[in-house]
Structure 1
């Protein structure tokens, strides 16, 4: 599967809204290692984004 498909699957998981059929397809096709790597990367980017946002709000 493509990296884009893995990213989309992880983003759907973050939102918590996913059809069971889509989840089962992803489970069958995607590598757990790719999912973990993408999830960790997205979490780090999210935390960095929150830190930047808080710093920006505090400075203004």
Structure 2
């Protein structure tokens, strides 16, 4: 439990968490980068960044489908 409390108090920026989640969506994280992120990033930021990234991904897919449907008409 103390490990979780210490992890939540980490101070790296939300931008660093977004960058880590972005690269992990593509599956091209290097082992050393993953280990560094696990040691430095705030887990709450990573969860929020993952949700934001997933929402953006879905929105982009919907936009692409709508554009493709309009072009097909």
Same fold (TM over 0.5): yes
Aligned residues: 60
What CA distance in whole angstroms lies between the structure 2 residues aligned with 1:2 and 1:33?
A: 11
Moved over 6 A (4+): none
1:22 alignment partner in structure 2: 33
Structure 2 CA distance for aligned equivalents of residues 30 and 55 of structure 1 = 36
CA distance in 2, matches of 1:47, 1:41: 10
Root mean square deviation, CA, Å:
0.9
Task: Name which of 44, 51, 54 aligns with 1:43.
Answer: 54
* 2:70 maps to 1:59: yes
TM-score, normalised via structure 2 length = 0.75
Question: What's the TM-score, normalizing by structure 1?
Answer: 0.89
Shift of 1:3: 1.7
Residue 2 of structure 1: how far off its partner (Å): 1.3
For the pair shown, which has the larger CA radius of gyration, 1 or 2? 2
**Deviation of 1:57 (Å):** 0.9
